[in-house]
A and B are shown apart, each in its own frame.
Chain A
Amino acid sequence: MFESRIASPFAGESDAIASLGPIGRAVLRCREADIGSISDKLGIALPRAACRSESNGPSSALWLGPDEWLLLHADLQDDWVSRLAAHLEGELCSLVDVSHRQVALAVQGARAAEILASGCALDLSPRAFPVGMCTRTMFARAEVVLWRTGSMSFHLDVWRSFARYVEALLREAESEN
């Protein structure tokens, strides 16, 4: 009866800047003492080191703050977060579904870091921002989560309402020679 496909706000698609499609997302928050047991129940080790990520199959956990992780699942299913919550029954923590709060772009290729440097003030050289590093930061005037998934590939998560703004700026940077 209804076409329940998830709408993407992005306008274009290119090799360097590509939409990553629907992704499951949840914000997990807990106290330091509970990281171990929660990691066990999630089946993924919540990183304790600042700005680092852990991946296990389609799932990843990105450190966003000392008590805050962004859990990602490559394939979005509407009940993914409620199933996770069931695993965490009895744990002292907060788990909130934010799958639709953000949308993701892959920025990739030899010019990936340069394109991002048009709006991101962080040092994106591999020594300062190695593969696996992730952080909230700003891209121009939009807050984003930037995650380096390969030497020449980044995952950029942005709040949905800012998606076209961020995409338009990235495409302008992409068009520069």
Chain B
Amino acid sequence: MTTGHFRTPSGGRIDRSRPLRFSFDGRSYSGFEGDTVASALLANGVHLVGRSFKYHRPRGIMGAGPDEPNALIGVRRDQGRYTPNLLATQTELYDGLDAVSQNRHPSLEKDRMAVNDRFSRFIPAGFYYKTFMWPRKAWDRLFEPRIRAAAGLGIAPSESDPDSYAQRYAHCDVLVIGAGPAGLTAAMEAAKSGAQIILCDDRAAMGGSLLAANQVTIDGAPAARWLAGMLDSLAGMANVTLLPRTSAFGYYPHNWIGLAQKLTDHLADAAPGQPRERLWQVRAKQVVIAAGAIERPLVFPDNDRPGIMLADAARTYLQQYGVEVGRKVVIVAAHDNGYRTAHELKDAGIDIAAIADIRGDSPVAARARQAGLRVLTNAAIDGTTGKLRVASITLTSGGKRETFACDAVLMAGGFTPSVHLFSQSRGKLMWNEDLQAYLPDQSAEAERSAGACRGHFALDEALADGAEAGRSAAEAAGYPFRPAIIPLACAVAHPVGGGGHIGAAPTSDPSRPKAFVDWQNDVTAADILLAAREGFLSIEHVKRYTTTGMATDQGKLSNINALGIVAEATGRTIPEVGLTTFRAPYTPISFGTLAGRARRDLLDPARITAINDWAIEQGAVFEDVGNWKRAHFFPKNGEDLHASVARECLAVRESVGIFDASTLGKIEIVGPDAAEFMNRFYVNAWTKLGVGKCRYGVLLREDGFVLDDGVVGRLAPDRFHVTTTTSGAARVLGMMEDYLQTEWSDLDVWLTSTTEQWSVIAVQGPKAREVIEPLVQGLDLSPDAFPHMSIADARICGVPMRLMRVSFTGELGFEVNVPSGYGAMVWQAIWERGQAHDMVAYGTETMHVLRAEKGFIIIGQETDGTVTPDDAGLAWAIGKAKPDFVGKRSLARPAMTDPDRKQLVGLLTRDPRIVLEEGAQIVAPAAEDRSIGHVTSAYHSSVLGKSIALAMVRAGRARLGERLEVPMPGGSIAVDVVAPVFFDPKGDRVNV
């Protein structure tokens, strides 16, 4: 096991009393509690952590936070728990952590695909668009498979994710995003007003830049002590919720913010069953964005070797983690943070070989020289050497070219404010010429930015800006005004401000191509210049052509430099070039977090009836109908669908069957104008429907097409029991309410859904009456007293019942409605009574076959939103004398009465064994290239001993007796057009 040779003897916020073992690519290392994988690897001298995406160049750790482009790792806990594409800079170390690098074969040190780098001049930006165009056939067989094999980042886990993920909605007065200096003072000032505060930060420890603050005092106390006191105070306030390890990944309209909180990834042993992550959906009255700023790298030749990293990252590794990123360091700077870093590293005993400032002389340069540091000004950066780690850098200054041996190069290009979330909120950005940065300008939401993310880089400014933002946010959220606090007194040894460089850094050798702009997608300055030469002017086009900024880091480091290069190449200013769109998520989040509890059985509600458990016990096979689970068929003794349905159908026709129709929509329509409402809404005439009688109702949309159907019973002059299709229940009720509330508010009538009040037990077949009669109380079921299409309230098995004598099978039938809490009990009672008559339980498939034998349509099967009542053979249902009903006017449009419209017919295959495919097209023998219709339903009828089908065929009713063809891949199937009623056409069987 390698120990941490690059660990300082003391300092940092790690717990040196708690060593942790971990492995990377199979090799064992140690680190400390408080380390990230990145800091622990660096402590062991490991910079090489990955291979680049396109050229497979060796890459090292560049950053210390969410901006890291290179250090993507996979972490494996067990077979089912492998997470790819984690940032090593944000992955907390735990004992036994097992990490692997990505995008290399067979190893990081020897990578076969590194050959891409040698051919890089042949694969510039747009290479794919230009190259893989010809021959066409090669794309499918050769190019695409090869490209696909080479593409992709990380390896997807092979097992289903065993972890659980939680979600929570939250509401607060002020959400503060980021717990750096500005975020902390914002949260504190807002909290003092009594407002409800949520403060989130994506790191394990709150404090942001203060975690690495050295030689800094606030209010006379060292920064670390001030921070500890601040966090203690916030934690002690009942109105403050602190969410560490929580990334604000998306800013959505009306101050709706998505937070992804990591709960167990940092633990070696999480309690079993506890969620791994939690999605917070926060609705905040006011938001304070204190997201900080990200240091820019410099674009110079070969700026991607391991050991070349951001200056502030090196400073953070030293101050927060006690890690030296190198022993001999060169700093390339376009910003004062290079000097600050140099001073702090030098104080820690690290050799600073040189500071190369691309700017001219300055007081900070002079001060560095006084401190004994070598400073080159007006420097050009000509290149670096080193295979798996940087070994030297060549610089030109004052006409003199010089090569410095080193094991780390630190880049300080200036800071880019993190305006991602502000921009996601649709706030308008404004270019600030002094700071050389886009800053938040006009807010679109109840939101304000504070601190470095709006250009207040200096600590005292950030603290004061945060305090004011918190105070004003609380005030805007409705909490009493309080004066702003006096700004805190700060002493900072090496203050830094704005400025810096954007674009390619000066180099005396511009011909060298590998000056990287986007490390993760391997985009170089030359690629961007090529795009500009080829005429791509819009930055959005440059982005897509070169893929800069399109990797998982979303261009946190690269976008602004790419803008600078485009601006220079096209002779425009940066604001003239514009900006690409910032999109959520700010950093990648897991699918698990987004899915939350909505997985497996809870993916979607499984609606179950009161009879569901009985059907499961009977071995029913279920199907999904919308959200409902419905018994599809009830196989016995290993029957398949076909055998089971054949048996079920015969039993219903010969004796009796029982069917769970509870999912049918039911609406009770009550009020003196109930009949008038029904007249206006359905095509049928309702005025004369007697109390205790039922009628089949047809409902159209206003465009004249059939929307729904169902049996309607009249319970009283002012009360109707309306049934709808299962899937139409909510739609029909919604449409009824729409007309009542917005068009016919004059009507005294009200609607109440009773879908789930009733369990509906359909008892169908010649023996149906014999089965239920002994169980019914208070109702004469004889044919004369209770004929077909009757409805009455009575009792069954001692509980209330609403009985309908209706039939969707063509047999004598009853639908027993009982309050659903009694559904299972009554079902069981009927089932037991039915055994004497060989009753079968049947499912939805048998129901479909039986109704097809009778030519009854099913909404959504025979109809598809373009079928009129006449098309479906339902013109008889229309109340002809009614002046108006929903859809009536549309039926009078010329196209609706065209005799060539598709009409419902029956089809019989010449070969009765062939069952047509639903959806198959139909042609006439004389014109086989023109479809004249389609098959809507097709089954084998065990009762008739042949296959039957329903179809919609042009001018179908005029074609009865015609032979048509159904062309299929294996040849045409000959069919005869017949009337759509195959069984008992006179309907005698329902009237027994």
Contacts and interface: CB of A to CB of B under 8 A. Distances in A.
- Asked whether any CB of A lies within 8 Å of a CB of B in the complex, the reply is yes
A4 B628 contact: no
Interface string B792-804: 0000011110000
Contact of B168 (A9, A101, A117): A117
Interface in B815-872: 819-825, 829
Nearest to A22: B821
A25 B829 CA distance: 26
B166 A173 contact: yes
Contacts, number: 139
Interface of B: 164, 166-171, 196, 271, 273-275, 281, 283, 597-598, 601-602, 604-610, 628, 668, 670-672, 748-750, 752-758, 797-800, 819-825, 829
A99 B819 contact: yes
B602 A168 contact: yes
Interface of A: 1-9, 22, 27, 29-31, 67, 78, 92-102, 114, 117-123, 125, 128, 140-142, 159-162, 164-165, 168-169, 172-173, 175-177
Nearest to B819: A100
A97 B598 CA distance: 33
A96 B602 contact: no
B602 A2 contact: no
Contact of A100 (B166, B275, B757): B757
Nearest to A5: B825
Contacts of B668: 94, 96
Nearest to B601: A168
A161 B283 contact: no
Contacts of B283: 121, 123
A173 B602 CA distance: 13
Contacts of B754: 96, 98, 101
Given A121-B169, A176-B274, A140 B821 contact: no
B598 to A, nearest CB: 7
Given A4-B798, A29-B750, A123-B171, A161 B271 contact: no
Given A22-B821, A92-B672, A177-B274, A4 B797 contact: yes
A98 B168 contact: no
Which applies to chain A's interface (DSSP): helix, strand, loop or mixed? loop
Contacts of A123: 171, 283
Contact of A101 (B598, B601, B757): B757
11 contacts: A2-B829, A30-B750, A78-B800, A94-B668, A100-B758, A100-B819, A101-B753, A114-B168, A141-B605, A172-B164, A173-B166
A93 B829 CA distance: 36
A140 B273 contact: no
A102 B601 contact: no
A162 B274 contact: no
Contacts of A67: 750
Contacts of A98: 752-754, 757
Contacts of A121: 169, 281, 283
A160 B758 CA distance: 10
Contacts of A168: 601-602
Contact of B822 (A4, A29, A119, A128): A4
Nearest to B829: A2
B539 to A, nearest CB: 37
A164 B608 contact: yes
Contact of B756 (A78, A161, A165, A177): A161
Given A140-B602, A161-B609, 14 more contacts: A2-B799, A78-B800, A78-B819, A94-B749, A94-B752, A99-B821, A100-B820, A117-B169, A120-B169, A125-B171, A141-B605, A160-B756, A165-B607, A173-B597
Contacts of B273: 175
Given A92-B672, A172-B164, A7 B597 contact: no
4 tightest A-B contacts by CB?
A: A6-B821, A94-B750, A94-B670, A161-B607
Nearest to B283: A123
Contacts of B169: 117-122
Contacts of B758: 100
Contacts of A128: 171
Contacts of A160: 610, 756, 820-821
A141 B604 contact: yes
Given A121-B281, A125-B171, A177-B274, A4 B799 contact: yes
B281 A96 contact: no
A3 B825 contact: yes
A27 B753 CA distance: 9
A4 to B, nearest CB: 5
B950 to A, nearest CB: 30
